[in-house]
Amino acid sequence: MTDYKKMRCEDIKLFIFEWAILNPEAGKGIKYVRNLNKQELIKVCLYIEGKLSRDEMIEVISAKQEYFRRYARRKRDGYSSSESSESSESS
Express each pLDDT in 45-79 by its tens digit.
Answer: 998 898 988 888 888 888 878 888 898 898 888 86
Distance CA 86, CA 83 (A): 5
Cβ(41)–Cβ(16) below 8 Å: yes
**70, part of any domain:** yes
The sign one gets for the Cα dihedral 77, 78, 84, 88 is positive
Convert the pLDDT of each residue in 12-31 to its tens digit: 999 999 998 898 888 877 76
Indicate whether 53 belongs to any domain.
Answer: yes
- Count up the domains in the chain and report the number: 1
Q: Answer for the pair 31, 61: CB distance below 8 angstroms, yes or no.
A: yes
State pTM to two decimals: 0.67
Supply the range of the domain harboring residue 47. 4-76
32 within some domain:
yes
90 located within any domain = no
Residue 56: inside a domain: yes
Q: What residue spans of the chain are helical by DSSP H? A: 9-22, 38-48, 54-90
